[in-house]
Structure 1
Amino acid sequence: MFVLIFVGGVLLAHWYLWLRLVRPTTGPGRLRKALTWGLAGLLGLLVATFAGSRMDLLHGLAWPGYVWLALMFYLVIFLVVLEIPRAVAGWVLRRSERGRTPAPEPEPVAIMAGAASTPEEASQAPAGVSSATPSMSRRLFLERTTAAVAGVGALGAVGYGMASALGDPVIESIKVGLPKLDPRLGGLRFAVVSDIHLGPLTGRAHTERIVRMINGLEADVVAIVGDLVDGSVADLGPLARPLRSLESRYGAYFVTGNHEYFASGGHLEWIEELRELGVRPLRNERVEIRHQGAVLDLAGVNDLNGESVGDGPDFGKALGGRDTSRSTVLLAHQPVQVDQAARHGVDLQLSGHTHGGQIAPFNLVVGLQQPVVAGLATIGGVRVYVTRGAGFWGPPVRVGAPPEITILELHSAIR
């Protein structure tokens, strides 16, 4: 279903771009044909990029393919926004044309010996005289101006978004009050990171920077809340190795995201790889974090996409049989899993998945699927913190949702 919707959307977007950027700004001829074939080539590039990423092939197409995807998206957005002013300007132009007195017919001019002897030469107007009518010139100016404004807007948005996505993540500092938290656990600090998305557009330096920034926070616990990778261990193993250098008082923990189940080598190979790197996966299980003589339950559940391979979330296994007088922090990739967390008395859920929308206005679409797009909220009595993630998926672009690493501090009083 996702593939069908994606392909249909991409085809519709390219058709719309042809209607707004190619047909009205050019006349029949070589230029229109060249632009049409160029747009068709970009469509083929996009399809090849997605097909290659699913099969760990054609990684060389990733950069141009994903950058075009972002440009295509923002071209459509800007052109849609410009539809109303374009329509108003067109209406004004048509009214002005109806009210204009027709120009007198030109006098016939004899062609003298030595004058243009071919139809092409004869059709050329003298210097300073346009061969197009004034109304045609104004219409063409309107269409080309609309296309230029949309193009500049799309290039600006994508350029800004690439600088944001490829730059340093923002450090978000959050204090969360849990009413039944043992006061001795007050001040316990979690470094929360999600959606690192190691893949063909990221290098080892991407992981090294994230590890360096996390280590600088001097956290008690590191929580990696899913979507670490977009490929197999064979392809991306070297990019994940800096995770071995993560530093924290009580360890680093990981739960699967939906993309771990898309990896060509399977999610289990990444589970074992992370164990080798010193990061403990919490696969529908929990551990005790002992701090200053008090105990906190830290639990983790698998992502919902694991159900397709018999590895889905099991809240009963992760949270059953515990001492309910203790506070429980749950790692769950998707915020929507908070419904089950509430039924099991979880105090705080840490999630990712949404990217904060990644590319505005996608944040409005994400909000239709997930109860929280980014930040801290309370759902069904459970405090939920959703990080925007430290990486990106698809286009190396973030607009309105900069990458993030969070330092989250627990307190017993409500803040």
Structure 2
Amino acid sequence: MVFAVVLIVVVALLAGVHRYLWRRFVGDTTAPGSVLRRTGTVAAVVLPLLSVGALVAGRAGAPFWLQRLLAWPGYLWLACLLYLTLALLVGEAVRPVLRRVLARRGPERPAESAAAPAHESAEVLVRPGAADAGTPEPAGPATAPGASEDAPRTPLAPEPGPSRRLFVARAVGGAAAVAGLGTVGYGTYGVLRGPRTKRITVPLARLPRSAHGFRIAVVSDIHLGPILGHAHTRRIVDTINATRPDLIAVVGDLVDGSVADLGPAAEPLADLEARHGSFFVTGNHEYFSGAAEWVDHVRELGLHPLENARVEIDGFDLAGVNDVAGESEGHGPDFDRALGDRDPARAVVLMAHQPVVIDDAVAHGVDLQLSGHTHGGQLWPGNLVAELANPTVAGLERYGDTQLYVSRGAGAWGPPVRVGAPSDITVVELASRQA
């Protein structure tokens, strides 16, 4: 019942937003029956349908080629919908100001579409001697004495032009379109360009001098799918390898799809290079995509899955827990299994996809937790929503004796767009306080 109510509210909200966009971009700026009006109306119906298709195609088991066909226009429209709406809302504040400015410049001219035909607005005169016939005749413009009847006549009124309201609607709509679509274009470029490298230093109290300067390349939320594929993976692998890390931590949400569809896209991961190897933990999207199959596949590619497990690295322990989404399949995080019997004198770094497990990490004496999941909000103001559901949205914060680092991720879910939350690969350099 609750789901049905939420669904109805969401559908009604989306319908209302699309109606608002149609009115401002189409209804207020185009003439009834015009080609532009018809084109805008068709787009207002087709684009949301493509978005729905992109969202449900994968879950419905549609062929991968169809998922790819729907993904680009469908997902991009969701981003356009957000920023076009925000731009128009700003325009609502500008609209009355612009009208007042124009009103001070002179009286409003009639719109072309509203201009009356000449024979209706012309002054009517009756020629002398014609009154009995009752035949009125429209009078033309006055002619100077001695002027020829065939000479050009000066019009008595200005030519009709766009009304002030129409001008304002087109000006505000045009500016909103440029701002909204420009924002989406720049955000798309940022994703397709690939993530940039960040570097941070994290001191650990129990890290021995021998491990001082140990570098972990942290990458999360790659999100291979119908949009981001083989080329995206190759860019990420090349970026990671260029940092020459000691260890690579892939912190979940690698894929949005099955091994059958996305196996080729993940192949460049086999080229990851690190002295102590590459490690992987599941994210919530792996459990939408066949987690067991992906765990086996990344192992074939040379990564080491940490399924509620721990390995000893020179100077510290590296542990990993399954994502909380695995609880629905009986494979959720098990901190006791991963950390219960370790040597408490050794520092421990934990790989856990979602930041929300930080309380368990603190309770088990973790020195540093590496997470992703939030995308840093991905699409501003999505960071405000992400802050409601996560203790940390991006960056490094301390919780008791445990430090939590959250990556913004290297890819994007849904729209291949990032605004205010650039993608990243982070090189975490561990520092010993004994050094």
TM-score (norm 1): 0.86
Cα deviation for residue 152 of structure 1 reads: 0.3
Tell whether the 8 Å contact from 1:330 to 1:346 is kept in structure 2 after alignment: yes
Q: Which residue of 1 aligns with 2:112?
A: none
Give the superposition deviation at 1:335: 1.2
What residue number does 1:115 align with?
none
Q: Are the equivalent residues in 2 in contact too, given 1:188–1:409 (CA < 8 A)?
A: yes
User: Matches of residues 67-106 of structure 1 in structure 2 within 5 Å?
Assistant: 67-90=76-99
Is it true that 1:184 corresponds to 2:184 in the alignment? no
Aligned equivalent of 2:141: none
Structure 1 contact 178–414 (Cα < 8 Å) conserved: no
- Cα distance in 1 for residues equivalent to 2:328 and 2:381: 30
User: Residue 380 of structure 1 aligns with which residue?
Assistant: 400
Residue identity matched to 1:317: R
State which drifts further: 11-20 or 358-367.
11-20
Whether 1:352 and 2:375 are equivalent positions in the alignment is: no
How far apart, in 1, do the equivalents of 2:7 and 2:350 lie?
A: 32
Deviations 1:20-39 (A, max 9, x none): 22222234334434422321
Q: Cα distance 1:414–1:154, how it changes in 2: closer, same or farther (>3 A)? A: farther
Alignment gaps of 5+ in structure 2: 110-119, 125-135, 139-154
2:160 corresponds in structure 1 to 130
Aligned to 1:22: 26
Structure 2 matches for 1:15-414, cutoff 5 A? Answer: 15-30=19-34, 31-57=36-62, 58-59=66-67, 60-90=69-99, 108-109=123-124, 129-130=159-160, 137-263=163-289, 266-289=290-313, 291=314, 294=315, 296-413=316-433
The 3 A distance-change label for structure 1 pair 184 and 8 is farther
Return the index of the structure with the highest Cα Rg: 2
Mapped to 2, the partners of 1:52 and 1:414 lie a distance apart of: 54
CA contact (8 A) 1:198 1:230 kept: yes
CA deviations on 1:373-403 (whole Å, 9 max, x unpaired) are 1111112332111111111111121222222
Aligned equivalent of 2:130: none
Alpha-carbon distance in 2 for matches of 1:272, 1:111: 93
CA distance in 1, matches of 2:348, 2:379: 33
Verify the 8 A CA contact 2:320 2:351 in the aligned structure 1. yes
Contact 1:18 1:36 in 2 (8 A): yes
Secondary structure at the residue paired with 1:82?
A: helix
> Offset at 1:276?
1.0
CA distance in 1, matches of 2:101, 2:372: 49
Shift of 1:410: 0.4
The answer to whether the Cα contact below 8 Å between 1:220 and 1:250 also exists between their aligned partners in 2 is: yes
Q: CA deviation at 1:15?
A: 2.1
Number of residues paired by the alignment?
389
SS at match of 1:210: helix
* SS of 1:223 mapped into structure 2: strand
AA paired with 1:270? W
Are the equivalent residues in 2 in contact too, given 1:177–1:414 (CA < 8 A)?
Answer: no
Is residue 356–residue 388 contact of structure 1 (8 Å, CA) maintained in 2?
yes
Q: CA deviation at 1:166?
A: 0.6
2:89 aligned counterpart, secondary structure: helix
1:144-174: CA deviation from partner (whole Å, max 9, x where unpaired): 1111111000121111111111113111011
Point out where structure 1 has 5 or more consecutive residues left out of the alignment: 113-124
**Residues 369, 183 of structure 1: alpha-carbon distance in 2 compared, 3 angstrom cutoff:** same
Q: In structure 2, do the counterparts of structure 1 residues 126 and 324 end up closer, same or farther at CA, with 3 Å as the change threshold? A: farther
Q: Which amino acid aligns with 2:77?
A: W
| 1:126–1:330 CA distance, 2 compared to 1 (3 A) | farther
Q: Distance in 1 between the 2:7 and 2:340 partners?
A: 38
Tell me the secondary structure at the aligned position of residue 73 of structure 1. helix
Q: Distance in 2 between matches of 1:96 and 1:151?
A: 26
Q: Identity of aligned pairs, percent?
A: 53
Amino acid at match of 1:319: L
Which letter does structure 2 place at the counterpart of 1:82?
G
Distance 2:414 2:269 in 1: 23
Q: 1:176·1:414 contact (CA, 8 Å) conserved in 2?
A: no
